Amino acid sequence: MTIQIMEKLFLLNPRFIVIFSLGFSIFFSYGLQAQQSTIPYSRQDSLRGSITPERAWWDLVYYHLDIEVDPNKKSIHGKNTVHYKVLKQEETLQIDLQEPMEIHGFYQEGTELRYRQEGNAYFVQLASPQEVGTVRKLEVRYGGKPRISPNPPWSGGLTWEKDQKGKPFIANSNQGDGASLWWPCKDHMYDEPDSMLISVTVPDPLMNVSNGRLRSREKQANDKTTFHWFVSNPISNYGVNISIADYAHFSEEYLGEKGPLSMDYYVLKENLEKARVQFKDAPRLMRAFEHWFGPYPFYEDGFKLIEVPYLGMEHQSAVTYGNGYQQGYKGKDFSETGWGLTFDYIIIHEAGHEWFANNITYRDIADMWIHESFTTYSESLFLDYHYGVLAGNAYLQGARQVIRNDIPIIGDYEVNQRGSGDMYFKGANILHTLRQWIDQDEKWRAILRKMNHQFYHQTVSTEDIEGFLAQETGLSLRPFFDQYLRTAKVPLFQYYWKGERLHYRWQEVVKDFSMPIKVHQGEQTYWLSPTGTWQSTDRLQAGIMFETDPNFYSYTQQIQPPSE
């Protein structure tokens, strides 16, 4: 979901589309919001993107999604049993399901319930008293032919393909558009079930692979099998997945920070040998990311890579893969430095989301930068761990070529609206800049690890992350984040020489922006502390060239001295 050449980019939005080419002669879609406040949001946007009164009074505890997938009819039928805790005594509950899927009925305690439909939202009238503190169950029966994604994973829906032998090859991808494209749920990111059972019936010899661990296979009549996958950790609705094919399976055990971690791989049989080679990146990423971010957040559910008929997604504990068994992003390097070809982009990026997206999850999609900035930054940290800090630095600096600086990174709240696609590589460079400001790599590493511990399995806001980073760094970061997240402007380091003194300031910045910056002159390095007003120093030698440190994401401009 980005203008950048990223794994998901922006989902196609018919209201705001710009198509452009970036270097590799590949075209990307981007949801342009040049004036976010003037977007004509609808009632459906609010029902989808806000915590409505019909959502707020109950807390998700558990889902049991029990469905049958018919590859020939491209249909799904079944039920979702929703277990919830009553927080406040109310009688109307919102469940979401998008057309052309259809609700077949809502049931509680054996009673079929009345409901009212408003677009994709269903308001269920509960018949029995909802006592505060009790855990209740609601059975939702449904079915139909879910939307086929016209451009997965950037446009949500199901993908129905075939392998080389003509057998079905099926998967979902639906971030942004919503999990309610194919199953009924509380389709808002703020609330996650504590655990989930995913039961999927498919025709033999197909296999369904979903999140968590395979609890059992249940042989059915008519040459069908039900696969029961149990997720023992909280899971976001968009992270729930079905991946269906005649899979080959292999596995290994990774000895990580919390002990043995099972790593399972499901691939098309014709790609088994390729996968055995390409998926060696998986233990490499675990070593790097556990070093930087702390333990993998889902040891109880294991880790899986699953081949799918689209590029890939960060489905929790079941990362999907479709990068063609090649290095980089479809064989391309965003940075054009060569470092992007030292790893398989989809494996590294999508698995990085296990820490930032699946462990630490945005509460509102307007704060999607929390997922994508940190995860894109993880690519640099992967290089840093395996090849050294200069490799990670070069990768981020090179990738700046795809940053547009068009609109703010943060989107509009409560309407299911993202901000700029710059949340990927600009976001990564923002975090890299903060690392330079801190100037203590072990402290920075400790902060990233503590973040994953403090917000373990939680949904968060930008304010939560800003406050945490300010507290842990001891820095006044509000102007820093106002500048980089809430405007599209890049700080401009402006300077001129007058006699023996260097005069300098920040331009194009918000009020009170005062980030220090390193400058290099010959073999010497100096820290300067520019603000929005002119300052001067005689520490540097006049007449000798200097440069601002390229690891700070800023621009530099020399101007003529003002006339007397």
Angle at CA 275, nearest 5°, toward 359 and 331?
Answer: 80
Query: Which one, of 75, 76, 120, 77, lies nearest residue 98 by Cα?
Result: 120
State the CB neighbour count (10 A cutoff) for residue 515: 23
CB 29, CB 1: distance < 8 Å: no
User: Treating both helix axes as pointing N-terminal to C-terminal, what angle do 425-438 and 369-387 enclose, rounded to 10 degrees?
Assistant: 60
Question: For 295-306, what is each residue's pLDDT tens digit?
Answer: 999 999 999 999
Residue ranges in the chain modelled with pLDDT below 50: 1-36
Beta bridge partners of 383: none
The CA–CA distances, whole Å, from 89 to 131, 138, 144, 441 equal 6, 16, 33, 50
Task: Output the CA torsion 255→261→262→267 (10° steps).
Answer: -90
CB 143, CB 68: distance < 8 Å: no
215 CA to centre of own chain: 27
**CA-to-CA distance for 452 and 442, rounded, in angstroms?**
16
Beta bridge partners of 76: 69, 144
**CA-to-CA distance for 258 and 514, rounded, in angstroms?**
41
Burial bucket for residue 555 (CB in 10 Å: 0-12, 13-18, 19+): middle
Question: For 79-104, what is each residue's pLDDT tens digit?
Answer: 999 999 999 999 999 999 999 999 99
CB 1, CB 399: distance < 8 Å: no
- Please count the CA atoms within 13 angstroms of the CA of 3 that sit on its side-chain side: 27
3 state DSSP class of 201? strand
What is residue 547's predicted lDDT score, i.e. its pLDDT?
97
Beta strands in 145-203 (DSSP E): 157-162, 168-173, 195-203
Max intra-chain CA distance, the chain: 92
Task: Name the residue type at position 522.
Answer: G
3 state DSSP class of 380? helix
CB 46, CB 417: distance < 8 Å: no
Burial bucket for residue 33 (CB in 10 Å: 0-12, 13-18, 19+): buried
Residue carrying structure tokens 């977007």: 39
Token representation of residue 29: 């879609």
φ/ψ of 249, rounded to 5, equals -130, 135
**CA-to-CA distance for 102 and 93, rounded, in angstroms?**
17
List, as one string, the DSSP characters of 483-515.
HHHH--PPPEEEEEEETTEEEEEEES--TT---
Residue carrying structure tokens 């943060």: 410
CB 231, CB 215: distance < 8 Å: no
Token representation of residue 120: 């994709």
Task: Name the residue type at position 339.
Answer: W
Residue carrying structure tokens 């373990």: 456
The CA–CA distances, whole Å, from 486 to 15, 185, 245, 427 equal 22, 32, 44, 12
**CA-to-CA distance for 401 and 75, rounded, in angstroms?**
43
Beta strands in 135-279 (DSSP E): 135-144, 157-162, 168-173, 195-203, 207-209, 213-220, 224-231, 243-245, 247-256, 259-268
Task: Name the residue type at position 254.
Answer: Y
User: Residue 128: which region, alpha, beta or left (left: phi > 0; alpha: psi -120 to 50)?
Assistant: beta
State the CB neighbour count (10 A cutoff) for residue 299: 18
**CA-to-CA distance for 95 and 191, rounded, in angstroms?**
13
Query: Which one, of 322, 15, 375, 343, lies nearest residue 169 by Cα?
Result: 322
**CA-to-CA distance for 525 and 537, rounded, in angstroms?**
14
What is residue 31's predicted lDDT score, i.e. its pLDDT?
32
**N- to C-terminal Cα distance for the chain?**
51
Sign of CA dihedral 52, 79, 365, 374: positive
Give Cβ neighbours of residue 371 (< 8 Å, ≥ 6 apart).
353, 356, 357, 361, 362
- Please count the CA atoms within 13 angstroms of the CA of 123 that sit on its side-chain side: 12
What is residue 543's predicted lDDT score, i.e. its pLDDT?
87
Task: Report strand pairing: 259-268 vs 303-307.
Answer: parallel
- Peptide bond connecting 184 to the previous residue in cis, omega within 30 degrees of 0: no
